[in-house]
Amino acid sequence: MNDRHEQWQAAERLALTLIEGGLQRMSARTLAVFLFTDQESVTAGEIADRLEASAGSVSGAIKSLLTVGLIERLPAPGSRREHYRLRDDAWATLFTSQNTVIQAMLQAAAAGIAATETGDPAHQRLTQMRAFYAFLLGELPALLNRWHQQNT
């Protein structure tokens, strides 16, 4: 129990969940490695070995995880290899990034409202849609504040 094999299985299952959450396959598997590694930081080569994936696809995954702010590149400790690690606020960041979709919904609804006449059934539906996403967008900053305070 609690051996490496069991951890590996848990990591792969977690990767599948991350894919559900919208990450791409290799990004999700890479993120799982960052979560489950024993070490403080990992290199691209180590990830490729662990996942039995090509250096190319790992490179792409790291780039995308860096872009959304889930991992960070560490000040190189004199080594030739780049070291990366999971960022402290990774999960809040992931949640926030997914909320850009909410903003897009809001804007799409507004565009629809502008394109329809007041009183149109479509106009009413779109107004309801906009109201919901406006509400959500308004609530989220306070939500994340509560998290950061509780998590201090």
List residues binding DNA (CB under 7 A).
Answer: 24-26, 29, 43-45, 52-57, 59-63, 76, 78, 80-82
Burial class from Cβ neighbours inside 10 Å (0-12, 13-18, 19+) for residue 123 reads: middle
Q: Which of 6, 49, 54, 141 binds a second copy (CB under 8 A)?
A: 6
Per CB under 8 A, does 109 bind a second copy?
yes
Alpha helices in 37-151 (DSSP H): 44-51, 55-68, 90-98, 100-115, 121-150
Closer residue to a second copy in complex, CB, 80/118: 118
> Which of 22, 25, 45 lies closest to 99, judged by CA?
22
Q: Report d(CA 29, CA 61) in Å as an integer.
A: 9
Interface positions with a second copy (CB under 8 A):
2, 6-7, 9-11, 13-14, 17-18, 20-22, 34-40, 86, 88, 90-92, 95, 101, 104-105, 107-109, 111-112, 114-117, 120-122, 125-126, 128-129, 131-133, 135-136, 139, 143, 146-147, 150-151
